[in-house]
Amino acid sequence: MASPHVAGAVALYLETNPTASPSTAGSAVVSNATTGKVTSPGSGSPNRLLYSLFGGGGGGDTTAPTVSITSPSSGATVSGTVTVSASASDNVGVSRVELWVDGALHSSDTTSPYSFSWNTTTVANGSHSLQARAYDAAGNVGTSSTVTVTVSNSTSGTELLSNGGFEGSASPWALSGDAYWSTGGYARSGTGYLVLGYYNYASGAAYQTVTIPSSATGALTFWLNVTSDEGTTTAYDYLRVEVRSTGGTLLGTVATYSNRDKTTLGNYSQKSVSLASWRGQTVRVQFRVTTDSIYPTSFRLDDVSLK
């Protein structure tokens, strides 16, 4: 396509689609051109025969795409982050599909199958409307029927872990290897806490199995005190915060700490990580330690909470 011809075609298109963006106009030109009409065009040539009447009037494309929301269904109750799926088709091709929530544009997708991630915690509990809009290269717009859903997210902040303060014992936390329950005088609150590491060649873990409701925030918080004979330049000894299946398979490492985080004995700081990706599942929340052959590091844990 020669540049003057392309510019002319775009100008004709914009006469009938004055609000079209540059990318929409460009897509219209390419989508409505005919391929393979020039013999041996040479390398780098798009080899397209320009069609200049597609923009409107004179037989242009006036057929709007059809679009529908396929999930969730109308009347569904949703929480957390949900996937909104849409189906769209058009006689010459769909250029993009948009998701509108309560009459406001949420996001768009240009590739089929069309899907959108909607964090329902950003809206109030109650009824909300979803609608999809599909566009073709000529600027025609198709609108789906409205899907009404009920958002129901937990607002109670219910504690999901048991004995996060390690008072009386470590139970129901499961301890293995170099993970110890202690009342040695350096708790952040109360009298009990956990110590992981402490020795050279240490390897140990503490975990609790928990079901994270889909309505939970998935916010994991805990207080950590790291002491070490190592320096702070290089990490040698590690505490990893992990999510594992009930059978022990690693699903994700959400945080890592080391001797580089060391401070004075009993000087705790609060940490916060998100387990939102595992809402609706039963998993192990695990703290796992490894240390090298010299200069041990101790990782003290207290007041662990998951909501």
pLDDT of residue 155: 55
Residue 91 in tokens: 């006689």
pLDDT of residue 95: 94
Kindly report, residue by residue over 23-62, the tens digit of the pLDDT: 656 666 665 665 555 666 666 566 666 655 555 444 578 8
Residue 127: CATH number of its domain: 2.60.40.10
Residue 261: CATH number of its domain: 2.60.120.200
Q: Per the domain annotation, does 33 fall within a domain?
A: yes
Question: 72 and 111: one domain?
Answer: yes
Domain boundary among 151, 185, 214: 151
Which range marks the domain in which residue 7 is found?
3-49
Sign of CA dihedral 65, 71, 75, 81: negative
Nearest in space to 192 (alpha carbons), one of 205, 207, 204, 182 = 182
Q: Give yes or no for residue 19 having a pLDDT over 60.
A: no
Q: What is the mean pLDDT of residues 263-280?
A: 93
Q: Per the domain annotation, does 56 fall within a domain?
A: no
pLDDT of residue 57: 45
Sign of CA dihedral 8, 12, 15, 20: negative
Burial label, 169 (beta-carbon count in 10 A; 0-12, 13-18, 19+): exposed
Percent of the chain with pLDDT over 70: 80
Q: How many separate domains does the chain show?
A: 3
Question: 241 and 189: one domain?
Answer: yes
Kindly report, residue by residue over 177-198, the tens digit of the pLDDT: 999 999 999 999 999 999 999 9
pLDDT of residue 56: 47
Kindly report, residue by residue over 119-170, the tens digit of the pLDDT: 887 777 788 999 999 999 888 999 999 999 998 876 557 899 999 999 999 9
pLDDT of residue 58: 46
Nearest in space to 153 (alpha carbons), one of 184, 176, 191, 126 = 126
Question: 184 and 294: one domain?
Answer: yes
Percent of the chain with pLDDT over 90: 68
Mean pLDDT of the chain: 87
Q: What is the largest CA-CA distance in the chain?
A: 87
Q: Per the domain annotation, does 162 fall within a domain?
A: no
Strand 34-35, strand 48-49: pairing: antiparallel
Question: 38 and 75: one domain?
Answer: no
Q: What is the mean pLDDT of residues 55-77?
A: 83
Question: What is the DSSP annotation of 28-78?
Answer: HHHHTSEES-SSS--TT---EE--TTTTSSTT---PPPEEEEEESPTT-EE
Q: What is the mean pLDDT of residues 240-264?
A: 96
Question: 144 and 185: one domain?
Answer: no
- Nearest-Å Rg of the Cα atoms of the chain is 29
Q: Per the domain annotation, does 128 fall within a domain?
A: yes
- Centre a 10 Å sphere on the Cβ of residue 90 and count the other Cβ atoms it contains: 21
Whole-number Å distance between alpha carbons of 303 and 50:
68
